Amino acid sequence: MVKIGVIGAGFMGAMHSQCYALLPEAKLVGIADVRKEKAEELAKKFNASACQDAEELLKNPEIDAVDICLPTHIHRDWVVKASNAGKNILCEKPIALSLQDADEMVEAARKNNVVFMVAQVIRFWPEYIRLKEIKDSGELGKLLSLALSRLSPLPTWGWENWLQNPEKSGNALFDLHIHDTDYILYLLGKPKALFSSGTRVKGGYAHIFTLFEYPDCSVSAEGGWDFVDTFPFRMSFVACFEKGAVEYDTGHNKPFAVYTAGKAEYPKLGEEIPRATDTSGNISELGGYYSEIEYFVECVGTKKKPSIVTPENARDSLALVLKEKESAEKGEKISLK
């Protein structure tokens, strides 16, 4: 049994807690939040204990792993503290906002020999997993092009409105669009070059368009959270292969489609994943969160280092997003070695 402490009882803390509660191999022991009432509310739902100071979870010898669901600008401090306390760690994405912070986190976990996984959840999302299988197996031939998009109303739920403070969240480029940047790296490796252009707001980008160059495939990704509150959150991709196409769009009635000559199929994926009990925030289902957390619990329980997403992978995704920012600021294509 892997005993868990959740740090941060906001939107993601609640989502992750639901997943631990559904996993027979995990036990949610404690929940910490500076807003004690948030910790108490969540702890009551899941029969855990609540505290205001997360240090209490780090000092609790019963706890094997902590799940850091804190605003991004404080990920570094808590990952380093948790590593030094010998706790295994799941930390929400993005890993951090600077490479220096990311490197310190990776090093602290390495030095203390703890499991450290960053929650790059799209690597665990059923439709994105299927796209990777189709690409890797070559069943539809070579991938010719891929367009990804992630569009959201402005996130307003954050503690003290941290999501809208670019120094704390990095804005849509770092907080939202990094999901697709990370997936592109997972699917195709490092691009040869990139060019980004976006909608600049104070201190960052609320909407970004990036073209990623690969030797034999063209890739674009759009991410923006500058939509009005009635706009439904949507993530999507269209992948064009030599012998077919694969499409996913959460705005469609049949979200996932595989098109081959003379045939359109609409497989339902992830049917085995339990349904969410709380659907507040911009995501209505547990989707990849459940599989991601199941994998983290398995890694901690079997003392294996995560390989689906390594700390270095999360750091590389941040590095690429920083290049996208540089490209958009300079208005120039950036070559990547």
Ligand X SMILES: NC(=O)c1ccc[n+]([C@@H]2O[C@H](COP(=O)([O-])OP(=O)(O)OC[C@H]3O[C@@H](n4cnc5c(N)ncnc54)[C@H](O)[C@@H]3O)[C@@H](O)[C@H]2O)c1
Binding site for ligand X (CB under 6 A): 7-13, 32-35, 38, 54, 69-72, 74, 92-93, 119, 121, 157-159, 162, 175
Q: Shortest approach of ligand X to residue 73 CB, angstroms?
A: 9
The DSSP element (H or E) to which 59 belongs, if any, is: helix 55-59
From its phi and psi, is residue 47 left (phi > 0), alpha (psi between -120 and 50) or beta? left
Q: Which of 174, 191, 255, 180 is nearest to 222 (CA)?
A: 180
Q: Shortest approach of ligand X to residue 15 CB, angstroms?
A: 8
Structure tokens belonging to residue 320: 């690429």
One-letter amino acid for residue 336 of the chain: L
Residue whose beta carbon is closest to ligand X: 10
Q: Shortest approach of ligand X to residue 249 CB, angstroms?
A: 17
Structure tokens belonging to residue 83: 């590593």
Q: Shortest approach of ligand X to residue 98 CB, angstroms?
A: 14
Are the CB atoms for 60 and 37 separated by under 8 Å? no
Q: Which of 287, 244, 257, 254 is nearest to 122 (CA)?
A: 287
Q: Shortest approach of ligand X to residue 91 CB, angstroms?
A: 8
Q: Shortest approach of ligand X to residue 182 CB, angstroms?
A: 10
Are the CB atoms for 144 and 241 separated by under 8 Å? yes
Q: Which residues pair with 35 in a beta bridge?
A: none
| Neighbouring C-beta atoms of residue 110, cutoff 10 Å | 13
32/68 Cα distance (integer angstroms): 10
Per the document, the length of the chain is 337
Q: Which of 204, 139, 197 is nearest to 172 (CA)?
A: 204
Question: Between residues 33 and 294, which has the closer beta carbon with respect to ligand X?
Answer: 33
Residues with Cβ within 8 Å of 175's Cβ and at least 6 positions away in sequence, in order, are 72, 94, 155, 163, 169, 225
Q: Shortest approach of ligand X to residue 70 CB, angstroms?
A: 5
Question: Between residues 40 and 249, which has the closer beta carbon with respect to ligand X?
Answer: 40
Question: Between residues 65 and 134, which has the closer beta carbon with respect to ligand X?
Answer: 65
Q: Shortest approach of ligand X to residue 5 CB, angstroms?
A: 11
Question: Between residues 72 and 291, which has the closer beta carbon with respect to ligand X?
Answer: 72
One-letter amino acid for residue 96 of the chain: A
